Amino acid sequence: MTTRNMPIGIQDFEKLRTENYVYVDKTTYVYDLASRSTPYFLGRPRRFGKSLLLSTFKAYFLAKKELFNGLALAGLEREWIEYPVFHLDLNIGLYDSRKGLEDVLDAQLREFERVWGKDEADTTLQIRFLSLIRRAREKTGRKVVVLVDEYDKPLISTLEQGETHDDIKTALKAFYSVLKSADPDLRFVLLTGVTKFSQVSVFSDLNHLRDISMLKEYAGVCGITETELLDTFTPEITALAEETGARYEDTLALLRKNFNGYHFSRNSEGVYNPFSLLNTFANKAITYYWFQTGTPTFLIKELQKNKLDLRAFSGGASMDDMDIADYRFGKNPVPLLYQTGYLTIKDYDTKSMNYTLTFPNEEVKYGFLKSLLPHYIPVAEREDFFIKSFLNDLERGDIDSVMVRFQAFFASIPYDLTDTFDKEKDYQMVFYLVFTLLGQYTEAEVRSARGRADAVVKTEDAIYVFEFKISKGGTVEDALKQIEGKGYLIPYSADGRRVVKVGVVFDEEKRTIAEWGQA
């Protein structure tokens, strides 16, 4: 089979269409949104196709009809009117100061001024931008289109930089305020980004934008739906199955498990991560492509600072309807985890108006937890090596080695970190990270609900049922009795594999495992 061109990293619609790349047709969304003069905001995680979407709008408003041949929009549009388009890209630049931001904006405005002219009396960036919009309308007799790619990149890049962040916020507030002042001269406005900084003043002047980020009808505007996957990529799924020696149905199930599961609205269809999916088809190998493109360092710091219980993310973290789109730096980081793609909507309760958020898929779950592990356990810099060592010990039935390895983990945690541990919850977090990451290689689950074992790991020959105790709260014997007495073994009684009970006691004063036993 001839290998088709996967549009990995292709953000220019014209290049994609003229150089024979595979395209998932999103032009129905383009026509629908463009049919109104409403100014919009769209938030999506990185590498989800926002830049390509803006480029598609640009080609449409520049009336490049030939690029849309064979696409849905070609059968919808009849007039093909060309408008002046100002496409601002904030992906570029080093935002280490306000000047860095101003240099990026100045460079792009100068490009527009070469086309539309400049009034030397216009000095500030915002006045130049406003004058450009009005001048373009006067010269063409048509209203102007403004497209802003990653409007929030300077803000996210400086989240931890205090004064610099505030300076950039002030500059962006002034610059973006033009979009409200120039509204009578604007045909269409779309800003894209990762998060909506609704409480940090930038969006206070952009309250006329319609936020479509969580509207069901636009849930699939970026990313790849199941229907689009099957309609567009069946040859690639077949080739991947042949390469791996798996059945087509099993390959599709594996793609769903690893890359599907993003929900950007309540009760909406799941969306695949396009970056990981396209790389998988191009390389004919499944791995964590999206997660390898960036480590959420500042998110990890926020999680540690706010002492969030990571175990809730697997079962489902609750988030108020009003808070899910509201990120305020230094406060609850869960909204930002949702907006950046590390959590997604699992359910919505109409009575309480609460969302339940969880990891969207295996790539995000394991990638995120692997990035967290060294921050909790410094000795675990080589996560794969240490986690696989645990698995090897369990497959040999060597519980003593498993516990000695845990002791080494806890011994590596600096005193200043352990001194702030919240006793049982924080030590259970370390167990949670290790046992959950084991799930990449074997069947493992960590439970937090009452009446269930703390952790269960299944190997080829045995099932290990773990119960953890704090030294002041019980002994090894108590843990083993609890496993037996509360029926933790019942779900595995008919499995056929050897079932092993493991009781573990943690000494909170010495900050390590004190004793363990099995039965």
Residue 160 backbone phi and psi in degrees, to 5: -100, 15
pLDDT tops 80 at residue 466: yes
Rg of the chain taking only CA atoms, in angstroms: 26
Mean pLDDT over 344-365 rounds to 93
Q: What is the mean pLDDT of the chain?
A: 88
Dig out the tokens for 45 from the structure. Answer: 């995680």
Edge to edge, the sheet with strand 455-458 lists 443-446, 455-458, 462-470, 498-507, 512-518
Asked if residue 468 lies in contact with residue 474, where contact means CB atoms within 8 angstroms, the answer is no
Average pLDDT of span 203-230:
90
Q: Which two tokens stand for residue 327?
A: 């990120």
Which of the listed CATH numbers 1.10.4100, 3.30.70, 3.40.1350, 3.30.10 matches domain 379-518? Answer: 3.40.1350
Residue 359 has pLDDT above 90, yes or no: yes
C-alpha to C-alpha distance for 275 and 304, rounded to whole angstroms? 29
pLDDT per position as a tens digit, 377-419: 766 555 566 788 889 999 999 999 999 988 887 777 765 544 4
Domain extent listing, the chain: 13-214, 224-292, 297-362, 379-518
| Residue 370: pLDDT band with limits 50, 70, 90 | confident
Question: β-strands 186-193, 210-211: how paired?
Answer: unpaired
Tokens of 166: 């505030």
DSSP state letter for 262: B
8 A C-beta contact, residue 433 and residue 383? no
User: Which residue in the block uniquely carries the two structure tokens 């004919």?
Assistant: 284
Q: Are strands 462-470 and 455-458 parallel, antiparallel or unpaired?
A: antiparallel
What's the rounded mean pLDDT across residues 155-183?
A: 90
314 vs 364 pLDDT, higher one:
364
Going by C-alpha positions, the residue among 82, 220, 195 that lies closest to residue 143 is 82
Output the CA–CA distances (angstroms, integers) from residue 116 to 111, 125, 137, 138, 372, in the order listed: 9, 15, 10, 10, 50
39-43 and 210-211 strand pairing: parallel
Closest CA to 372 of 298, 431, 300, 294: 300
Three-class SS state of 56: helix
- State the DSSP string of 411-477: HTS-HHHHTT--THHHHHHHHHHHHHHHTTTSEEEE--STTS-SEEEE-SSEEEEEEEEEGGG--HH
CATH number of the structural domain 13-214: 3.40.50
Task: Look at 365 and 333; give whichever has higher pLDDT.
Answer: 365
For residues 421-438, average pLDDT? 73
pLDDT, position 162: 85
Look at residue 381 in the predicted model and tell me its pLDDT: 57
pLDDT for 296: 63
Q: Which residues pair with 445 in a beta bridge?
A: 456
Burial label for 49, CB within 10 Å (0-12, 13-18, 19+), is buried
Give the per-residue pLDDT at 446: 80
For residues 276 and 260, what is the distance between their CA atoms, to the nearest angstrom? 10
Contacts of 516 (CB under 8 A, 6+ apart): 399, 400, 403, 476, 502, 503, 504, 505
Q: How far apart are CA 430 and CA 421, in angstroms?
A: 11
Predicted confidence at residue 418, as pLDDT, reads 44
